[in-house]
């Protein structure tokens, strides 16, 4: 939805200015197995949960090959697609699914999946804003592929400690 807190604030101001509604969904909240897991944690059957962690292992990753820039595909309004991002020549690696591996548009796997997994941890702990977040990763597996963002082996370790 946004690539920075500032962008999210600008969108919120536009919503207020024009009297519109914007919805951003966390789809895990609608899946029954996540709902059941959260209910189990909240039931107290685990006892007092004092710390939680979330992570995602992404096995089966392949390198993203470096490809040359090419003409914008017919029917694509590339300027609109780029929005406020830095203007780059069209490159299929920066388009559709692969865009998430470039800092101008996203934050890699951390921002692609992290928001969903962190949401489950915070919901399970009935917590607000986390006190700290730590992520480990780098370009260790495919150091010369086309991605700019790290490929996280452990997506994120978010520790939520109860008060």
Write down the pLDDT at residue 15: 94
Decide the pairing of beta strands 151-158 and 133-138. antiparallel
Beta bridge partners of 52: 160
Each residue of 21-41: pLDDT tens digit?
Answer: 888 778 888 999 999 999 999
Q: What is the mean pLDDT of residues 135-143?
A: 75
Total-model pTM: 0.76
Write down the pLDDT at residue 162: 54
CA distance 109 to 28: 17
Each residue of 93-138: pLDDT tens digit?
Answer: 999 999 999 999 998 887 888 788 888 888 998 887 776 666 666 7
């Amino acid at each position: 939805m946004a690539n920075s807190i500032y962008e999210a604030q600008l969108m919120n101001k536009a919503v207020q200015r024009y009297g519109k509604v914007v919805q951003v969904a966390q789809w895990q909240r609608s899946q029954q197995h996540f709902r059941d897991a959260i209910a189990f944690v909240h039931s107290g059957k685990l006892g007092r949960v004092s710390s939680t962690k979330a992570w995602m292992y992404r096995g089966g990753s392949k390198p993203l090959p470096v490809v040359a820039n090419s003409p914008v595909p017919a029917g694509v309004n590339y300027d609109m697609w780029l929005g406020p991002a830095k203007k780059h020549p069209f490159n299929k690696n920066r388009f559709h699914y692969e865009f998430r591996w470039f800092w101008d548009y996203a934050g890699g796997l951390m921002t692609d999946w992290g928001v969903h997994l962190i949401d489950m941890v915070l919901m399970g702990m009935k917590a607000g804003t986390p006190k700290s977040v730590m992520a480990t990763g780098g370009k260790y597996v495919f150091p010369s592929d086309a991605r700019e963002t790290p490929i996280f082996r452990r997506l994120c370790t978010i520790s939520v400690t109860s008060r």
